[in-house]
């Protein structure tokens, strides 16, 4: 079984592997139901979705009607203003067919202009706090992509007592010394303050090559080799207290969950060296390069 740990200060033991529901964005309901049933098979009890993930919230809704009590349910809003975020939260509640969200997150809050609007007067933060006071949501988090995300999250948690953060974490991202230093600082502060740390892109190989004609199920090329994928998952789990969000490529979900269920803490040192070797052998590249490819 996949290990469970407290999700920050929430009164919930979440599986260390969280289901990234972007995978459901363009699926028909029948296929989505099959994917969601895998969560029950492996005991996953935490779903992370977003208003912008196509029809993902709609695909989750009928399934939540049967399993709501067993899951921590998180979604995201990309709106930065009070009115926009308020409407987004209301819409997500309706689309998910639930009375309350466990977590609302500010989606990709990494640019200066958006940050100032969301965190300032009349911003999205006011709408989230109001929704929390009304019992519509329980916790508030912040997410992001790119090389500046760890630094922006540090700024965010100093400005407001967020309950969770979400950001990229893999071997290749940590080859950027500035990103690695900011991640370490964020990690330590979150651990001190009991802020949940969610990681994404843990099984990323690189951006798609222009001449790659294989079918794409995510915006980046994931690691597909089963043993290398397993090691990438274990590399992430070797960091105490972090959560791993599964890939938007649903064809890899079972492999990821199997890897998560097989994690062995005693092999942590070995997996670090193995992942470094995998990176060289698979020609892995960072998804985000400062000043070059800092967006999706």
Complete DSSP assignment for 178-221? HHHHHHHHHHHHHHHHT-EEEEE-TTEEEEPPTT--SPPSSSEE
Write down all domains in the chain, each with its CATH number in brackets: 4-281 (3.20.20.100)
Which pLDDT does position 259 carry in this prediction? 97
pLDDT, residue 203, reads 96
Total-model pTM? 0.96
148: number of Cβ within 10 Å:
19
Which residues have C-beta within 8 Å of that of residue 119, sequence separation ≥ 6?
Answer: 125, 156, 159, 160
Distance of alpha carbon 202 from alpha carbon 17, whole angstroms: 11
Name 94's Cβ contacts closer than 8 Å, sequence gap at least 6: none
pLDDT at 270: 86
pLDDT at residue number 206: 95
CA atoms of 142 and 165, how far apart (whole Å): 5
* Low pLDDT (below 50) residues in the chain: none
Q: What is the pLDDT of residue 264?
A: 84
Q: What is the pLDDT of residues 156-208, one digit of tens each?
A: 999 999 999 999 999 999 999 999 999 999 999 999 999 999 999 999 999 99
Q: Which residues contact 63 (CB under 8 A, 6 or more apart)?
A: 32, 33, 36
pLDDT at 102: 98
Give the Cα separation of 34 and 40 in Å (integer).
10
Cα angle 278, 18, 61; round to 5: 135
Residue 169 tokens, joined? 């974490």
Looking at residue 268, its pLDDT comes to: 73
> Is 257 within 8 Å of 31 (Cβ atoms)?
no
pLDDT digits (tens, 9 = 90+) for 42-56: 999 999 999 999 999
Q: What residue has token string 């969301």?
A: 118
Alpha-carbon distance 162 to 156, whole Å?
8
Residue 225: the pLDDT is 96
């Amino acid at each position: 079984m996949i290990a469970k740990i407290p999700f920050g200060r929430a009164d919930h033991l979440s599986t260390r592997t969280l289901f990234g529901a972007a995978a459901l964005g363009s699926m028909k309901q029948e296929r989505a139901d099959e994917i969601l049933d895998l969560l029950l098979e492996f005991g996953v009890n935490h779903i992370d979705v977003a208003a912008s993930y196509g029809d993902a919230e709609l695909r989750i809704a009928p399934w939540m009607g049967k399993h709501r009590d067993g899951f921590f349910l998180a979604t995201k809003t990309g709106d930065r203003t009070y009115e926009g975020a308020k409407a987004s939260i209301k819409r997500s509640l309706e689309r998910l067919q639930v009375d309350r969200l466990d977590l609302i997150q500010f989606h990709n809050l990494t640019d200066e202009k958006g940050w100032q609007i969301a965190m300032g007067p009349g911003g999205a933060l006011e709408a989230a706090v109001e929704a929390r006071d009304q019992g519509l949501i329980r916790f508030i988090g912040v997410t992001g992509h790119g090389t500046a995300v760890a630094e922006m999250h540090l700024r965010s948690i100093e400005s407001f007592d967020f309950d969770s953060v979400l950001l990229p974490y893999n071997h290749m991202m940590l080859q950027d010394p500035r990103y690695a230093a900011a991640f370490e600082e964020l990690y330590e502060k979150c651990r001190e303050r009991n802020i949940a740390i969610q990681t994404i892109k843990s099984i990323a190989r690189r951006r798609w090559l222009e001449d790659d004609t294989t079918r794409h199920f995510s915006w980046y090329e994931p690691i597909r080799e089963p043993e290398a994928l397993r090691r990438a998952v274990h590399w992430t789990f070797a960091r105490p207290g972090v959560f791993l969000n599964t890939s938007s490529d649903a064809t890899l979900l079972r492999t990821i969950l199997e890897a998560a269920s097989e994690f062995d803490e005693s092999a942590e040192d070995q997996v670090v060296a193995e992942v470094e070797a995998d990176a060289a052998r698979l020609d892995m590249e960072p998804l985000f390069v400062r000043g070059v490819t800092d967006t999706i």
